[in-house]
Chains A and B, each alone.
Chain A
């Protein structure tokens, strides 16, 4: 029985999910309030924007790149979108129109930053790490400069309702996350672009020789990542009811950690939407559980670090059991 389980564990790519389930069950027993309706909702709402942002990051990583600028994308689209919508700005649209405009503007900001990153990586041949590092500095500085580090309040009700509204009993954030996952799954598994993304990640030279539009593929991944980050910003902004220039500041390492824990390779060409979902689930569960136990912020940081390390070791041992001895 145990041997069978072990064999199944070593063959399947759901090991992170099993870890999550195990963690969930253990925490439900030992932590009061973990297995409550309220906490499960809480967990779900924290999970959704993180899933959306991480899916975008997955696509970039599949091409062998990395996008460090997602946090500044979230911050900038939050403040730009909020200043379009806020009744303080005095643009004077009626609330539902300004909600539409605001969301549109936010997504455009995300796409624009993604475009800058993608063009710099492909057409100018700059390393992704450095490009997105500098765009992170630049655009987060830009968001702070625009607002002079003030928050933007008085957003229209129709926008604030996004995080609480339901579509046929399914909350909008869940709908959005499911939508993004389905789109990413569909693109990666059934379209030519999906094949190109994996091909570029595996070997750029071979892909180029085989006639793949390498530059176009990479640019569209960065744009997709930017749009995903902006969508995350929509959910965060609506939930916090403010546009903030430091929004999302702390999630960068969570997102990258989640994607990599899920099993997506930092070198590109290997990764799945499903894996990223598991990775995000894992990080969110961990955060939530440790918070409920009442660990302080810094102890949570320590545990999170150790767990990332632990998950990475498990991952390696699964692929290369010879290292265990």
Chain B
């Protein structure tokens, strides 16, 4: 009896993110008839595409037990550089390519200090967080910058009925998912995250793997920044602030561990990002007091992390139970 009970608790906990996501959607659906319209659901997906892309990059870093606090600054830098370049008369595609290069370079800088000097990622990316935001503010002269119409068009265009941001998101998620689950590179990322020392002894190129996850994270941050400004049409001096925390929260909600080696992009991180965005979207639709947004978002994330840790404790307990039989 006890075992069955424990097993059913575990089943509930195993799918906690999905259940919570469903609970949030159903709650908002009851509170407002507009929430469940196709229009709104596709809106949620469009709005969450930027966060989901950034969180995908963050997932790679978290899988190696690292962390990247600089993604918000990279996003901001991406926005500023693209706005500047377009203002100087460069074609749109060139601006986009440059921005993606800048993001990747930013990841390279992070990775260089982490693997050359063995400084912990937290400190390196804390430093590049400052440098990136400062440099972005310097370039933009701390002013909000409007983007040309062309950018907004990218944000609202649809290809084969699929909105462009969602299409980008789909490509990113799909390639990340395939890279993590089907390639040797993906397996090596998990191995390094589980135990870097053992991975090194097994002959894996640990340094190269660490380098590449930060490159991926920087690239995704720049791409996510582009997708976000294509929807906003402007870059304010606070653009991307706290995005690093939201991206980490989305990845953790999706079941990725802060301690490395555990997690996935699909469905995990995607659901995490969409969950966060659904809360924001739902609160707007039910006309909640704007001051309550951070309170509710914080409380819900707290609840999800709590469930995740209960799941972990349950696992440990059942393992002990199994051992005693």
Contacts and interface: CB of A to CB of B under 8 A. Distances in A.
Interface stretch (A40-48, A84-92, A195-203, A298-306): A298-306
Interface in B270-307: 289, 291-295, 297-299, 301-302, 305-306
B297 A266 contact: no
Interface in A273-325: 296-306, 308-309, 312-313, 316-317, 320, 323
A260 B137 contact: no
A118 to B, nearest CB: 14
A313 to B, nearest CB: 5
A133 B276 CA distance: 15
B306 to A, nearest CB: 6
B245 interface: yes
Contacts of B313: 125
A313 B119 contact: yes
Interface string B294-324: 1101110110011011101100000000000
A302 B294 contact: no
A226 interface: no
A140 interface: yes
**Majority-rule SS of A interface residues:** helix
A257 B119 CA distance: 13
B135 interface: yes
Contacts of B294: 137-138, 140-141, 144
Contact of B127 (A124, A134, A135, A308): A308
B108 to A, nearest CB: 15
A301 B137 contact: yes
Contacts of A298: 133-138, 142
B128 interface: yes
A301 B295 contact: no
A323 B138 contact: no
A253 B126 contact: yes
B129 A300 contact: no
A61 B116 CA distance: 25
B36 interface: no
B306 A124 contact: yes
A266 to B, nearest CB: 6
A130 B130 contact: no
A179 interface: no
By DSSP majority rule, is chain B's interface helix, strand, loop, or mixed? helix
B124 A309 contact: yes
Nearest to A315: B119
B131 interface: yes
A138 B142 CA distance: 28
B75 interface: no
Contacts of A148: 291
Contact of A316 (B119, B136, B298): B119
A26 to B, nearest CB: 22
B312 A125 contact: yes
B117 A120 contact: no
B127 A299 contact: no
Nearest to A116: B302
Interface string A127-147: 101110111111011101100
A131 B305 contact: yes
Contacts of B249: 130, 133-134
B276 to A, nearest CB: 11
Given A298-B135, A320-B118, A137 B298 contact: yes
B245 A266 contact: no
A58 B313 CA distance: 28
Interface string B76-120: 000000000000000000000000000000000000010011111
In the A-B complex, list the 5 residue pairs whose CB atoms are closest, starting with the nearest. Answer: A141-B294, A305-B130, A301-B134, A138-B298, A137-B298
Given A253-B129, A298-B142, 18 more contacts: A125-B313, A133-B245, A133-B249, A138-B298, A138-B299, A138-B302, A142-B295, A145-B291, A145-B295, A266-B120, A266-B123, A297-B137, A303-B134, A305-B128, A308-B127, A309-B124, A313-B119, A316-B119
Interface of B: 113, 116-120, 122-124, 126-138, 142, 245, 248-249, 252, 258-259, 289, 291-295, 297-299, 301-302, 305-306, 308-310, 312-313
